[in-house]
A and B are shown apart, each in its own frame.
Chain A
């Protein structure tokens, strides 16, 4: 936690901030979803309330808060009320385990009449060193919120939705986990910081039959080492987040609203936050593994620090360090937003799969291809470092 009051307080505030980032990005994403879908379908979308329709979100929040909460007659209270809370936990915990910006170092400083520091802070809730294993483990608990909601509602549509959801999540988790094995073999580590550090630097450098080659105009990103794995990971993450084209758990044409049929008001909002939280985690993992994390392509990390300290933005080195980290955080957020936009784009482009198509895609297409990707990466790694 920390060695003195300052560090403990900063770490606690950091956890809270990461949770709030997740929660506060949801209205913006909802707004984006409406506006982008309207743009794609040649409509206007909500544009009456406030500039660009942004105040509409506030009206929505008020509506969610003031709706009457209700409880199904034969429902199970523990599960019915527990499910929305359970929906928030995995997303928030997983997001807290991903580095959102470069770690920064604070020199010793005087504040409130005593000496503090030096400190090292990470732009991340917690770091156990095995990064991705914990993220996958925590986010795999997301299925329980759907199962609890489906069972606790005591409604056939809810139950069917929950069963579909859990079958789908378990099936696609395999492909999701296996698709990451390739990139983990390339980087040879579990730690997010090591993975990002290996993707920093400008020319794309790789070994081929023992000789070092480089392509000068490409950044050193994971996607160039493992494009197939990236594709499978991104597709499987759609199924994990229950988004279209994989939103069979809440197929409204067949199941009313699936597992959250019996929910309304704030509880429903919490399910939405959980879903968007999963999207953010998937996008953040995509950015971290395949697109260089918080680093900026074509710009060295040191030159950002130099630019901040020499440009007169911050005079004190501590503020400069913090500001540098903040710039990296914004870069990371930009990358995450690009992937979130792709999520929205796909949702409004592709139709929903049929259930047997979904299972076929998961078990007969993605899983074999993910296995093939693992084997291919292993063979490639074995040969590329060996001279002919």
Chain B
């Protein structure tokens, strides 16, 4: 088990970081080249001001008509995404790993908070799963990969909670926690999780067109 753990926290970790960063940069470059080839006119009106205006509205809960029309989705999606980003970055055990490997440190969450945030992420995955099944307009654009990424997203949190409470074999679940986290990183460039990179660009695209061309709101 210790050898598997060495593998997972050594070569596999670096490989997953490399794929995550390299793959993400490749995707961004690919998108930029696509835009230059097919929508070159975009660059004539692309505007930082209208981009930020659009991002600013969509990043605030209930600040757009669409967020107000779907209040439950709005609450769930904001709680889910915030918890998803905050928990791994500010979990005490992770901060300790950074500190002890690289001597860099920052404040950490109390474990009780991290557990609550993890449960929010898991509940969010369940919500999105049910939504993909029962909402017709969402079911229509759903493919198998969308279910896979919900599982991939939930996995590090489920295994993390199990390892924290030491249910079952703590060594097995700590290993699964590490490996599932790496799998999630690797999945970012290759699945719809890449909205993590593209969402601000989508808003920049829409915001610039609505602001500079149509002189209208996009929120």
Same assembly? no
Please give the residue numbers on chain A whose beta carbons come within 8 Å of chain B beta carbons, in ascending order: none
